[in-house]
Amino acid sequence: MEFALDSGNTAWMIVASALVLLMTPGLAFFYGGMVRAKSVLNMMMMSFMSIAIVGVIWAVYGYGLTFGADGFLGIFGDPAGLYGLNNLGDDGSLAAGVGVPLLVMAAFQATFAIITVALISGAVADRMKFTAWSVFVLLWSTLVYFPIAHAVWGGGKLGWDSSLTPTSPIDFAGGTVVHINAGVAGLALALLLGVRKGFGREPFKPHNLPFVMLGAALLWFGWFGFNAGSEFAADSTAGRAFMNTMVAPAVAILGWLLVERIRDGKPTSLGAASGIVAGLVAITPAAASVDTWGAIGIGFLAGVICALAIGLKYKFGYDDSLDVVGVHLVGGVVGTLLIGLFANLDEGTTWAGAGEEKSPANGLFYGGGWDQLITQATVAGIVIAYTFVVTLIIGAIIKATIGLRVTEEVEMAGIDLVEHGETAYEEAK
Amino acid sequence: MKLVTAIIQPHRTEEVRAALEAAGVKGVTVSEAAGYGRQKGHTEVYRGAEYTVDLVPKARIEVLVDDADAGTVTEAIVSAAQTGKIGDGKVWVVPVDDVARVRTGEHGIDAL
């Protein structure tokens, strides 16, 4: 089928792709500031290594496994004809309906694959071998991210016409594919790695809170591309996603700081930065399907619930060092489930998505009954189960072969010096 | 000759330096230090986790003076650094055998 190229949509998607790619270096600052001075370079390098590895494998085979025709080996898209992004550059090769060249769409989606695996690095701070991380990035992207993204977005089993849910699942920009996925993987890896030496006894004080604030700012800026770009067009739905991406993190800051004020006595800068990310995570799946009140509700609940959830690691004894579980898994679940309450698909031009047999329903608060909540919970549950099991298997294989963790001496001396031969500062301690 | 060493609140450093200059002191060395006295440390909270910070930041000031000036200099530091709150710090004076000025090779009082 022939489509006309839409220059407005294409221009927006090119810009949005660049915005989303910037999130991963932003994440490097967000995470880097939270670790001790002796491991900041390793922390940041894990994000940059994700760009390097996923950037290549996405172009070579990842796009094909994700967006090729459904059914390859049961869980992938069929990459035949798409290796190296072959045949995507032709003039007539445009995305259906929006008139954007498929090469631009492939670049946009590459940035999602990159940041998802990078998010996991927050759970393994200070102690994962760099070679083990690199192998993990390759295997996890291939065996977890590509199949999940295919299932939800690539025409697979959790898409519009999913036979597993009563209505069409809604994951606009990656509540399940990106955040629940990364959060569950972080939990699995943290369990396999074990706790850092001194966890729960010694202080692991963030060494540079201005870096954390800078990182949160870059993430928010890039996230406008992430959410509003997920419409694949410069239209009013993109505008709604953009507005919701502004308001949800703002109210999430307030929610997080309210918890801190009551529980700890003082509102902190780390809390404000964390609130931004919690709000962004939760609004991600819902960005186009809720009205502004819904965005305020989701943002506030995400700020409060994530601020409370970060204490779980001390209660259960897993060292999710920088709270990938507390922010991304919990925030992702909050956003994904709250669609079942707040979805308002009647609001103007809010939502254009639907399958051939099914369509999404309004949330409980908007007269749609329980169906959409059941749908959302089903998809979240399937992603959690698949990702947890496969991540554990990948981690266990790496652990049994090249090893996951640096030695205790390396951990004490600082992973920067031993794994990279560098220190970030003159006297890193 | 005497070495006067003061551990003070970092935010009083400029006042102390000005007071020493007014007292005729020609040179002073200031360094960042950390420690605790009766003030003890304090607690900080990061993402809900409480950390006790045992060593609090202080400024360390060192001045070499002639024996006769030691009392004046000590008093100048004390009055300039004092806030009256716990954690203001300490000043102590120790004898010095010899001092050499690196540029000229002078020794003793001439090197001050």
Tell me if A378 sits within 8 A of A188, measured CB to CB: no
pLDDT (tens digit per residue) in A335-351: 999 999 999 988 655 55
For residue B49, what pLDDT is reported? 86
The rounded distance, in Å, linking the Cα atoms of B21 and B19 is 5
Check which CATH number belongs to the domain holding B96 and give it.
3.30.70.120
Q: Does A261 touch chain B (CB under 8 A)?
A: no
- Is A168 an 8 Å CB contact of chain B? no
**What are the chain A neighbours of B53 within 8 Å (beta carbons)?**
203, 205
- Percentage of the residues of chain B whose pLDDT score is greater than 90: 73
Residue B44: list chain A partners with CB under 8 A.
205
Binning pLDDT at 50, 70 and 90, where does residue B48 land?
A: confident
The number of folded domains in chain B is: 1
pLDDT, tens digit only, all 429 positions of chain A? 456 889 999 999 999 999 999 999 999 999 999 999 999 999 999 999 999 999 999 999 999 999 999 888 889 999 988 999 987 877 668 887 899 999 999 999 999 999 999 999 999 999 999 999 999 999 999 999 999 999 999 989 999 999 999 999 999 999 999 999 999 999 999 999 999 998 988 778 899 999 999 999 999 999 999 999 999 999 999 999 999 999 999 999 999 999 999 999 999 999 999 999 999 999 999 999 999 999 999 999 999 999 999 989 999 999 999 999 999 999 999 999 999 999 998 865 555 567 778 889 999 999 999 999 999 999 999 999 999 999 999 999 999 999 999 999 999 999 999 999 999 998 655
Q: How far away is chain A from the Cα of B35, in angstroms, using its nearest Cα?
A: 17
Domains in chain A, please, with CATH? 7-420 (1.10.3430.10)
Contact between B48 and A270 using a beta-carbon 8 Å cutoff: no
A271 touches chain B (CB under 8 A): yes
The residue of chain B with its CA nearest to that of A264 is: B48
Number of inter-chain CB pairs under 8 A, A vs B: 29
Residue A307 forms contact with B (CB below 8 Å) = yes
Task: Provide the 10 A C-beta neighbour count for residue A37.
Answer: 17
Torsion of CA B73, B75, B78, B79, to 10 degrees: -110
Is A307–B46 a contact, with Cβ atoms under 8 angstroms apart? Answer: no
Which of B31, B43, B47, B52 would you mutate first to test chain A, the one with the most A CBs within 10 A?
B47
Say if A274 is an interface residue toward chain B (CB within 8 Å): yes
User: Which residues in chain A are closer than 8 Å to B47, comparing Cβ atoms?
Assistant: 270-271, 274, 310, 323
Position A353 scores a pLDDT of 66
- What does the block give as tokens for A189? 């890896």
Q: Using CA atoms, how far apart are residues A213 and A226, in angstroms rounded to an integer? A: 19
How high does pLDDT run on average in chain B?
92
Identify all chain A residues contacting B52, using CB atoms and an 8 Å cutoff.
203
Tokens representing residue A8 in the block: 């407005």
A270 contact residues in B (CB cutoff 8 A): 46-47
| Nearest C-alpha in B relative to A202 | B51
Question: What integer pLDDT is reported at residue A72 of this predicted model?
Answer: 84
Name which of B46, B51, B53 is nearest A270 (Cβ-Cβ): B46
Please check whether residue A33 touches B, CB under 8 A: no
Using CA atoms, how far apart are residues B3 and A158, in angstroms rounded to an integer? 77
User: With an 8 Å Cβ cutoff, are A268 and B46 in contact?
Assistant: yes
Provide the shortest C-alpha distance from residue A38 to chain B (in Å).
18
Q: Whole domain around residue B44: which residue ranges?
A: 2-111
3-state secondary structure chain A: CCCCCCHHHHHHHHHHHHHHHHHHHHHHHHHHHHCCHHHHHHHHHHHHHHHHHHHHHHHHHHHHHHHCEEEECCCEEECCCCHHHCCCCCCCCECCCCCCEHHHHHHHHHHHHHHHHHHHHHHHCCCECHHHHHHHHHHHHHHHHHHHHHHHHCCCCCCCCCCCCCCCCCCCCCHHHHHHHHHHHHHHHHHHHCCCCCCCCCCCCCCCHHHHHHHHHHHHHHHHHHHHHHHCCCCHHHHHHHHHHHHHHHHHHHHHHHHHHHHCCCCCHHHHHHHHHHHHHHHCCCCCCCCHHHHHHHHHHHHHHHHHHCCHHHHHCCCCCCCHHHHHHHHHHHHHHHHHHHCCCCCCCCCCCCCCCCCCCCCHHHCCCCHHHHHHHHHHHHHHHHHHHHHHHHHHHHHHHCCCECCHHHHHHCHHHHHHCCCCCCCCC
Q: Do A264 and B51 touch (CB under 8 A)?
A: no
Beta bridge pairs of residue A70:
A77
Which one of A265, A266, A323 has the shortest CB-CB distance to B47?
A323
Are A323 and B51 an interchain contact pair (Cβ–Cβ within 8 Å)? no
Picking from A203, A205, A310, the nearest residue to B48 by CB comes out as: A310
Q: pTM for this one?
A: 0.90
The answer for residues whose C-beta is within 8 angstroms of residue A18's C-beta and 6 or more apart is A225
**Nearest-CA neighbor of A270 among B15, B72, B46?**
B46
CB contact under 8 A, A205 and B44: yes
Chain A residues inside the 8 Å CB shell of B45: 260, 264-266, 268
The shortest CB-CB distance from A206 to any of B46, B48, B50 is to B46
Q: Which of B44, B48, B53 sits opposite A263 (nearest CB)?
A: B48
Please name the residue of chain B whose CA is at the shortest distance from the CA of residue A269: B46
CA-to-CA distance for A215 and A330, rounded, in angstroms?
20
Positive or negative CA dihedral for B41, A256, A42, A411?
positive
**Cβ distance A120 to A187 under 8 Å?**
no
